[in-house]
Structure 1
Amino acid sequence: DLSGHVLAYLSLSPVFVIVGFVTLIIFKRELHTISFLGGLALNEGVNWLIKHVIQEPRPCGGPHPAVSTKYGMPSSHSQFMWFFSVYSFLFLYLRMHQTNNARFLDLLWRHVLSLGLLTVAFLVSYSRVYLLYHTWSQVLYGGIAGGLMAIAWFVFTQEVLTPLFPRIAAWPISEFFLIRDTSLIPNVLWFEYTVTRAEARTRELGGQDSQGACVSTPPGLFCPDPFGTVS
């Protein structure tokens, strides 16, 4: 039926998330994104361990004999998506720096995105029951495990890893692979936008003025001094 097909595609959400993370890391190479993916990998390892300790079988009568493992407690899809959604929720509301002049649309975007992530996590969990891969208890405990793992990894990242990011970014191997730390930048999207515009403007004016030009830059950004008067 149509709903089954839709839920089957939703059930592939963890694959889409992993592909998105790999793509983002290749093009951005940001330490917090790498840490987030590391947390997801650890979460999967914990799920595998719990499954083989409890060894609760999947529901009887399911039309899916060729699954990756015969154990179903807890659901790995449910645990994965709730880890991703809860961690993203905490990141949006606690990690992203709050500003007094935050625009209404920025706050609305944050609320809509958080609600969307939690909705997708619920639908993926529901799809595993609907498609007879898991029981309700298996997806419920998977969601609880994923949420708790997300909270623990978020706290660990904030309290332990984030203070180490500047030092890690300064390692020779990090510099070689252009790995960066943006944890101290309040709004990375706005920062990259303004830096790109400033650099493009500088290069545009550079073709007109061989001596170089000082262009209008966002607060806190470096304005070039072609005469070397600033020590």
Structure 2
Amino acid sequence: MDLDSDVLKPLGTFLVEYREGDFLGHGLAYFSQVPILAAMFIIGFWFRARDLHSPTMSVGLVLCVAVNLVLKNVFKQPRPYVHTHLKTYGMPSDHSQYMGFLATYVTGLICTRCRPLRSRLMLFSYGSAVVGVWTLALLVCCCRVYLQYHSPEQVIVGCCVGSGLALVWLSIVLNVLEPYFSTIASWPLLNLILDVPHR
């Protein structure tokens, strides 16, 4: 193999382009990585919290990404002209769909699982979590438009699809799966991996 004649291909997962000299674009390029950081945080939280809501949220996020791939191939709408060299379609925005799912799911879980709020500190903590996750979602959506990876319509559709999927998945988790959480938590393999407490 002759290394001098090989064409190098970048790993596209972390490649975010911005205009040279655009300091705002440079900063927003980092915000494009929030979905990846959020996935790592959720996995870490899963092992730390040892509950079953974290892995079910993770499964929902994976399903959300799968739905996004299907929708992109149904709509086949190109990205804005700046990024037409990319091999993927733009509708709907996967980053905004992921963040819409995450923000809606976290908000729904807090609203359904954390009542009644017994103190102002709890209200502040949960309120801060909701405001924080929606702020991150909004920043990711804005940076995808600013960096011209997606049109505003692609981002809005992505966020709406993600939010809708989150509501459906949260309803399935709370009404269908959660009644079996104590049984699932007693599975030997799950206890071996996470030492999940029986609740």
TM-score, normalized by the shorter chain, greater than 0.5: yes
- Give the structure 1 partner of residue 184 of structure 2: 168
Check the 8 A contact 1:86/1:151 in 2, yes or no.
yes
Q: Residues of 1 paired with 2:23 and 2:38: CA distance?
A: 23
Distance 1:125 1:4 in 2: 13
Partner of 1:45: 66
Tell me how far 1:176 sits from its aligned partner.
Answer: 2.1
The equivalent position to 2:159 in structure 1, one of 126, 134, 143, is 143
Whichever residue aligns with residue 87 of structure 1, its letter is Y
Tell me what 2:131 maps to.
115
Which ranges of structure 1 fall in alignment gaps of 5 or more residues?
Answer: 185-231
Task: Specify the alignment match of 1:154 in structure 2.
Answer: 170
The two structures, once aligned, show a CA RMSD in angstroms of 1.7
What pairs up with 1:17-96 in 2 under 5 angstroms?
17-62=38-83, 65=85, 67=86, 69-96=87-114
Q: TM-score, normalised by structure 2?
A: 0.83
Deviations 1:78-121 (A, max 9, x none): 0000100111111111122425xx11121022222211211211
Q: CA deviation at 1:138?
A: 0.3
Give the Cα–Cα distance (whole angstroms) in 2 for the partners of residues 34 and 157 of structure 1: 11
- How many aligned residue pairs are there? 178
Shift of 1:61: 2.5
Identity of aligned residues (%): 34
Among residues 125, 135, 142, which one is paired with 1:126 in the alignment? 142
Q: Is the CA contact 1:43–1:149 (under 8 Å) kept in the aligned structure 2? A: yes
Q: Is 1:180 paired with 2:174?
A: no
- Residues 181 and 52 of structure 1: is their aligned pair in 2 closer, same or farther, counting only changes over 3 Å? farther
Deviates more, 1:17-26 or 1:170-179: 170-179
Q: Where do residues 210-225 of structure 1 align in structure 2 (5 Å cutoff)?
A: none
Residues 105 and 166, structure 2, Cα contact 8 Å, conserved in 1? yes
SS in 1 for 2:149: coil
Question: Which residue identity is paired with 1:75?
Answer: S
Residue from 105, 113, 116 that aligns with 2:121 = 105
Report the 3-state secondary structure (helix = DSSP H, G, I; strand = E; otherwise coil) of the residue aligned with 1:177. helix
Q: TM-score of the superposition, structure 1-length normalised?
A: 0.72
Gaps of 5+ in 2: 1-21
Larger Rg: 1
